[in-house]
Amino acid sequence: MANLNINQFQQVTVRGDLDLQISKSGVITGQISVNQATALLGGAFVKLDTANTGPLPQFVAAAVGDAAVGTIKRNVKTDTFSAGDYVEVAGVYGPVMWLKAGATVAPQAFVEDDTSGGVITKSSGAARGIALDPGTSGNLFRVILTTPLSA
């Protein structure tokens, strides 16, 4: 890290700076990792690819029991993302997302994802968030995302 120069002509990052875009939007921009074998859909839970050595965050699918860093945000062009595609991932930064209930879920319940892509009340998997609305099987409801924290 270089010292700040009062005559500099461009902005530089300094230790202790905040990434205000992430703080403001609750979204991390990154890329689907080349290590992700299958396409991912909007709403899929992802974790950071630990094999990534580049400057851009790369994401792979989070298994049912994994602690996820966030959830892929769909965009106006597509809701399916393959290796190399750019994505926005919402996470522990406070966003509220609409998800499909895999069973009946009560408000304030800690929720986890199930193997069919739905959201159910937490039983044995990693907590993905807190239900904001009541959810009934197959219907959309709002979830406050809390990943990767253990809710």
For residue range 13-51, what is the model confidence (pLDDT) as tens digits? 554 454 555 556 778 888 999 999 999 999 999 988 878
- Which positions ≥6 away from 115 have C-beta within 8 Å? 64
What CATH code is assigned to 20-91?
2.40.340
Q: Where are the domains of the chain?
A: 20-91, 96-145
**What is each CA distance from 108 to 9, 31, 41, 82, in whole angstroms?**
50, 32, 26, 34
Q: In residues, how long is the chain?
A: 151
pLDDT digits (tens, 9 = 90+) for 71-119: 999 998 888 999 999 999 887 555 677 888 889 988 777 888 888 778 8
| Class of residue 27 by CB neighbours under 10 A (exposed 0-12, middle 13-18, buried 19+) | middle
Distance CA(47)–CA(85), nearest Å, equals 15
